[in-house]
Amino acid sequence: MRPLDEKETRTMFEKLANYTGSSLSNLIAPPTEGSATTERMVFRMIGTSRCYYMPERIANLATSIPRDALLTSGTLIGKFTKTGKFRLNMTALSIIAPHARVKVYIKSNGEMPFLYGSNVLKAHVARWSEDAPEHSGCIVFNSNDTPLGFGVTARSTAEMRKLEPTAIVVFAQADVGMYLRDEDTLFTT
Alpha helices by DSSP H, 63-128: 93-96, 108-115
The predicted pLDDT at position 189 comes to 53
**d(Cα 17, Cα 8) in Å, to the nearest integer?**
14
For residue 36, what are the domain limits? 2-95
Q: Tell me, yes or no, whether 46 and 11 share the same domain.
A: yes
56: CATH: 3.10.450.220
Residues 105-163 pLDDT 10s: 999 999 999 999 999 999 999 999 888 899 999 999 999 999 999 999 999 988 988 99
Q: Tell me, yes or no, whether 82 and 25 share the same domain.
A: yes
Cβ atoms of residues 104 and 152 within 8 Å = no
Which range of 28-37, 40-49, 104-113, 176-185 scores highest in mean pLDDT? It is: 104-113
The predicted pLDDT at position 31 comes to 62
> Which residues lie below 8 Å from residue 74, measured CB to CB, with a gap of 6+?
44, 52, 53, 54, 55, 58, 59
pTM value is: 0.86
127: CATH: 2.30.130.10
Q: Which residue has the higher pLDDT, 21 or 6?
A: 6
Residues 72-121 pLDDT 10s: 888 999 999 999 999 999 999 999 999 999 999 999 999 999 999 999 99
Q: Tell me, yes or no, whether 86 and 18 share the same domain.
A: yes
Q: Given its phi and psi angles, is residue 59 left (phi above 0), alpha (psi -120 to 50 degrees) or beta?
A: alpha
- Report the amino acid identity of residue 1: M
Above 70 in pLDDT, residue 32? Answer: no
Question: How many folded domains does the chain comprise?
Answer: 2
Cβ atoms of residues 141 and 132 within 8 Å = no
Q: Tell me, yes or no, whether 49 and 82 share the same domain.
A: yes
